[in-house]
């Protein structure tokens, strides 16, 4: 009776094993029950085998679950900034956050419409994959975060989610020079004789950032700073910070009209002290 009671225990460690149950049955049954005990032995062995197999399956499923969990965590870490990904994985809430000062860069391929018209969809996918894989490797050396890529647009930010004082404009500006230099030496696989030029827009200012979505969460940026960066090659706001940092070469482009802002001064970023790499300039009129 005691063995039966122990088998009902809520504490798994107090429950007897099948071997202990088998020994108890052998000890408690008289010799006249030998034929019946053989049946019991057979049933216990079947149960023990089933239990062992079940335990093995549980261990296997647990290992598979850990592998899938690791894949999910790796994917989230690639989709979101490390600090944001870590918070989400630990179950902590990630509220939208306002940043008073960041720099944002948008880039796209000059003449991409023409290149697309002369290429198959698969060739375009291969082109963008090769180019942006090269960009991804290069920007690892800067204090920047790649926000997203949409078509041929490549968006990068600095100063969030980890603030870096006034360094953000310099990080983006130097990164932009590197991207332009890399694009000049990049060979389009299916169009080796066609040069590839990059066009960038840079702007500094405040923005709000937060995680949007559940199925495919994205770290998104919102605000006038983002909109302006997407419309211009370089702006006066970024220029003021670059002037403060020193060493960057800017040329006044003139005034440009921006919807909702009117006419604003804009500047070309043409170089940096100590930067010796070639900076290809696209021909006028390409889009």
The pLDDT score that the predictor gives to residue 287 is 46
**Over the chain (287 residues), what is each successive 10-residue block's mean pLDDT?**
64 71 61 53 72 78 86 80 82 85 89 90 93 92 91 90 89 90 87 84 89 82 80 54 68 73 74 78 57
DSSP state string for 18-86: HHHHHHHHHHHS-GGGHHHHHHHHHHHHHHHHHHHHHHHHHHHHHHHHHHHHHHHHHHHHHHS-HHHHH
Tell the CATH topology of 94-272.
Alpha-Beta Plaits (3.30.70)
Task: Give the span between the Cα atoms of 40 and 33, in whole angstroms.
Answer: 10
The pTM assigned to this predicted structure is 0.68
In the chain, where the domains are located: 2-74, 94-272
Task: Give the span between the Cα atoms of 202 and 267, in whole angstroms.
Answer: 10
Token pair in block for residue 194: 């066609």
The pLDDT score that the predictor gives to residue 35 is 47
The pLDDT score that the predictor gives to residue 234 is 47
Helix axes 34-79, 18-28, angle to 10 degrees: 170
Q: What is the DSSP letter of 235?
A: B
Total residue length of the chain = 287
């Amino acid at each position: 009776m005691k063995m039966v009671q122990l088998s009902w225990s809520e504490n798994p460690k107090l429950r007897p094993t099948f071997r202990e149950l088998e020994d108890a049955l052998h000890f408690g049954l008289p010799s006249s029950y030998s034929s019946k005990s053989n049946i019991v032995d057979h049933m216990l062995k079947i149960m023990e085998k089933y239990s062992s197999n079940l335990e093995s399956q549980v261990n296997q499923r647990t290992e598979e679950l850990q592998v899938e969990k690791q894949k999910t965590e790796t994917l989230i870490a690639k989709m979101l900034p490390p600090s944001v990904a870590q918070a989400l994985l630990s179950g902590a809430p990630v509220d939208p956050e306002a940043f008073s000062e960041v720099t944002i860069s948008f880039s796209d391929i000059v003449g991409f419409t023409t290149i697309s018209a002369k290429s198959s969809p698969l060739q375009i996918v291969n082109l963008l994959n090769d180019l942006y894989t090269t960009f991804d490797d290069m920007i690892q050396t800067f204090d920047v975060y790649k926000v997203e890529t949409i078509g041929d647009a490549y968006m990068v930010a600095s100063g969030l989610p980890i603030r870096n004082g006034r360094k953000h404009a310099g990080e983006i500006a130097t990164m932009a020079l590197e991207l332009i230099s890399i694009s000049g030496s990049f060979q389009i696989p299916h169009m080796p004789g066609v040069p590839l030029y990059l066009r960038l827009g840079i702007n500094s200012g405040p923005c709000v950032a937060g995680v949007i979505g559940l199925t495919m969460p994205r770290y998104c940026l919102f605000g006038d700073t983002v909109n302006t960066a997407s419309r211009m090659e370089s702006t006066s706001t970024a220029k003021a910070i670059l002037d403060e940092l020193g060493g960057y070469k800017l040329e006044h482009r003139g005034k440009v009209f921006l919807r909702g802002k009117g006419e604003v001064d804009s500047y070309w970023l043409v170089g940096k002290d100590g930067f010796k790499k070639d900076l290809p300039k696209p021909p006028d009129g390409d889009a």
